[in-house]
Structure 1
C-alpha cells in the first residue's frame, strides 16, 4: 500500500502524524493523564484487550515501578481519517546504551502484552495496516529507535492479534492453558481421580478453626491477605534459594494499589483468592480476569505444617471452579512450564516477541535482542542447559 505524503504536527498532548490510509493518524502521549479518557473509552465490550492492559493496572505500575526504573510513557493511539481510535499500544520508553527502546508498560508483572483494539479493526486487520502504523511511527518527530514487544499472545478471545502479522519469534516460554467448556461437568476440567486426591488432602485442613476459601472483596480483606503474602513470600523464595522480585522498589505499593483499584464493569484490577483459617493465611493466588479468562500473577503458601497438605493445589481447584461457574472460557497460571501448572493446564498457548526497528540504530539493537531471546529459549528447552542455569542462579543467590 503506497503511503501518502506525511504531515507532522506537534500538540501539547502528544506528537501526531497523519497518513491517508486505513490507519490515518498516529499520536503518541507522554503523560498517562493526557490519554486516560481515550484509554478508558477502549475498555469496553466492543474492544479487544487483555486485563493486563487496563488503565488502572498499568497506571499503578507506572507510578510505583516504571518511574523508578526510568520509564517514560509512550502510549500510541492509531486512528482512522475521522479521528476514531482503532488501536492503542500502552508503551513506555527507556534509553540504554544510547538506544531508546519502547516496550509495553507493566514490565515483568504483565504476563501478556497486546494493544487495545476495536473488535472490528482487530478482526479485519491486514498486514498493510500494521505496516502503515510502523511507517507512521518512523515519521514521528519524537520517535523511539526500537519497539521491543515481548510476551504477546497470538490470539485473544479467538481473534488474531494484529501484531502477529509483523515479523516475530517465539518467546522464551509458552503459556500452559486450561480451556473451560461452557456448562461442562467439573470432572471435565479436573479429573475425578485428581479431585478425590485433593479432597482427601483438604479433609486434613477442614478441622482448622475458621477454615475457608475466600475471594477478597473488601479493602480490609485485600489488605489483610496482601500483608500475609508479603510476609510469607520472602520466606518461600529463601527456601528455594531464589531472589525475591517482590522486594524490588515500588513493587509492594504497585500490588496494593492495583489490588485495591476497582473500576465500573471490571471489578478489581487484580483479584485475590485465598485459603485461610483463623490462625493464618494458608495459600494465596492472585491474578487478572476479564469475563473470559483468568490469568494468574503471583502466589505463595504457608511455611507452617499445613503446607504438607498441598494447599496451593486445593486453592487452584477452587479458583478454577469459581471462574468456570462464571462462564469463563480459559484459565492460565502464567508463562512457564512449572510442574504444578501442568497438573491443571493441558494445552499450550504460543507466545511471541517482536523486535521492530524504527531507526538504523534500532536495527542493530533488534538483532542483538532477537539473538539473546533465541539463546534463552534454547536454554529453557534443553534440559541439561536449563539445569545448569538453575544451579548457577542458586549459587549466585547464596
Structure 2
C-alpha cells in the first residue's frame, strides 16, 4: 500500500493494512482544504467494502465502478489491483478501482473491466465534487502520479463523460484526450408516445406494426424480459453462441470467447439490489412460436443504475425471421417496457451504429484520462493519444471508416 498527500512533498507515507479501515465519516465546519487530500493505494477491495457500497448509492457514480461489478470482474480475471482511495481528512473523497495489465505493451493502470464498460465515472462523494474546482490540476495529477509510482507506467482511464447529467467529473482536472467513440442516448419521457416524438414517431410506429404482423404470420412470438436466474443464465449462454456465429460470419474476432469474460458476465447477472434500481445484467429476448418454436431471434442484455438503463450487448440470428427485423423490434419492446418504472434515460452504449442513431437523439462525448507515471509512460501516453486521434479521424470520414472496417474483416482483428 502507498499513500500520497496534496500538496506533494518528498516524504512518502507508508500505511499498514490496519490503517486502511473504514474512516469515520465527518465534516468539520462543512469545509475541507485541498491540502487535506490524502491518496492511498490498496491491492484489495475488501477493506473499502462498506464505504465503497455507500458511494454506490449515488446514481451518478457509474455501475461499472460499483463494488459488485468490480468484484465479479476481479474474481473472473484476478488481475493485480491498485485501488486509488482519496480522503479529505477522515472522510472518503473518492475511489478509483483500477487494475494493472499490459496495454499497448506498457504496464497500464486502467479501470477494472475497462474493455467491457460503456461509461466510467469513478466513485466520488458529492462533497469532493463541490470542492474539486479548488484543487490545482497539476498538484492533483502529481499526487496520483506519486501514489502509483512503481506500480505502472501509465494511468489510462477510458470512456469518461467529463460532464455527466449536470455534474462535472473531477477527473477533468487530469490530462485527457477525446475518445474516438461517442455514446448514444434516448431520454424517456412521460410515455412511449412522448418518447417517440423525439425520433420520427410516425416512422417508428409503422415499423413496429409491420414487424409484429410479420412475426405473427410466422406463428407469433414471446417477449422475454424476466425469469428465474437459471433462465437468465441460459439466455446469456445462447447469446454467446449466437454472437460467436455472427462474429465469424463477419470475419471478426469473438470478444466474448474468453472463458473469463463469460464468467464475469454470468456474475453480472447475479448483481441485484432489493428495489431493482441496480441491476448488473438482465437478458431480454424475442422467442419464436409456430414452426420455429423456442428459437431465439434476437437477444440483448441491459444494466440499470438508478434511472439509467444501459444496453451492454445485443445480437440477432439472421437465419430467423430476418424480414421482420427482430432486433429493431426488441429495442422497441425494451424501451416501451421501461416507462412507468422510474427510468428516464436509455443508453445504447458506445460506438456509432445506424440503429443507434435512428433511436437516439442525444450524442455524448467521452474522454480518456492519459497520465504518464514515468518516462516510459510518457511514450505509452503519446502512443494512446496518437491511436485515439487517428481512429477519431477515420471515423469522422465515412469513406475511410468503411475501408478500415473492410480491412479489419479481412485480417480478422
Q: Could you tell me the TM-score, scaled by structure 1's length? A: 0.89
Alignment coverage as a number of residue pairs: 390
Aligned residue in 1 for 2:165? 157
Deviation track 1:233-261 (CA, whole Å, cap 9, x = no partner) reads 12212222221111124111111111123
Instruction: Pick from 276, 280, 297 the counterpart of residue 269 of structure 1.
Output: 280
Partner of 1:59: 71
Question: 2:184·2:362 contact (CA, 8 Å) conserved in 1?
Answer: yes
Q: Is the 8 A contact 1:288 1:297 kept in 2?
A: yes
Query: Given the superposition, is the C-alpha separation of residues 186 and 207 from structure 1 closer, same or farther in structure 2, using an over 3 Å criterion?
Result: farther
Q: What are the equivalent positions in structure 2 for 1:371-390 lying under 5 Å apart?
A: 371-390=386-405
- 2:263 is the alignment partner of 1:253: yes
Q: 1:117 to 1:97 in 2, by over 3 A?
A: closer
2:328 pairs, out of 309, 313, 327, with 313
Q: Deviations over 1:144-194 (max 9, x none)?
A: 332111111122232111212332121011112222234572432451331
Aligned to 2:364: 349
**Is 2:94 the partner of 1:87?**
yes
Cα 1:204–1:79 shift into 2, 3 Å: same
Shifted more, 85-94 versus 324-333: the winner is 324-333
| CA-CA distance at 1:327 after TM superposition | 3.2
Stretches of structure 2 lacking an aligned partner (at least 5 in a row)? 22-31
1:117 aligns with 2:104: no
Match of 1:8 among 8, 13, 16: 13
The 8 Å contact of residues 155 and 371 in structure 2, kept in 1 or not, is answered as yes
Secondary structure (helix, strand or coil) at the match of 1:325 reads: coil
Distance 2:380 2:20 in 1: 24
Task: For residue 126 of structure 1, give the secondary structure of its aligned residue in structure 2.
Answer: helix
What residue is the counterpart of 1:362 in the other structure? 377
Change (3 A) 1:221 1:98: closer
Work out the CA distance in 1 between the residues paired with 2:8 and 2:241.
58
Of 339, 345, 350, which aligns to 1:324?
A: 339
Does the 8 A contact of 1:48 with 1:122 survive in 2? no
Provide the C-alpha distance between the structure 2 equivalents of 1:397 and 1:321, rounded to a whole number of angstroms. 37
User: Which residue among 306, 309, 325 is the counterpart of 1:294?
Assistant: 309
- Is 2:187 the partner of 1:175? no
Query: Could you say what secondary structure the match of 1:326 adopts?
Result: coil
CA 1:371 to 1:127, structure 2 compared with 1: closer, same or farther past 3 Å?
A: farther
The answer to whether the Cα contact below 8 Å between 1:186 and 1:321 also exists between their aligned partners in 2 is no
Whether the aligned pair in 2 keeps the contact of 1:113 and 1:153 (CA below 8 Å) is yes
Q: CA deviation at 1:128?
A: 1.7
Distance 2:135 2:104 in 1: 32
**2:51 counterpart of 1:42:** no
Q: 1:188 maps to which residue?
A: 197
- Cα gap change, 1:165/1:20 in structure 2, threshold over 3 Å: closer, same or farther? closer
CA 1:35–1:227 in structure 2 vs 1: closer, same or farther (change >3 Å)? same
Aligned-partner Cα distance in 2 for 1:13–1:273:
44
Q: Would the aligned equivalents of 1:127 and 1:166 in 2 still touch at CA under 8 Å?
A: no
Whether 2:237 is the aligned partner of 1:222: answer: no
Structure 2 Cα separation of the partners of residues 267 and 3 of structure 1 = 37
Q: How has the CA–CA distance of structure 1 residues 44 and 105 changed in structure 2, closer, same or farther, with 3 Å as cutoff?
A: same
Runs of 4+ in 1 over 6 A off after TM superposition: 13-16
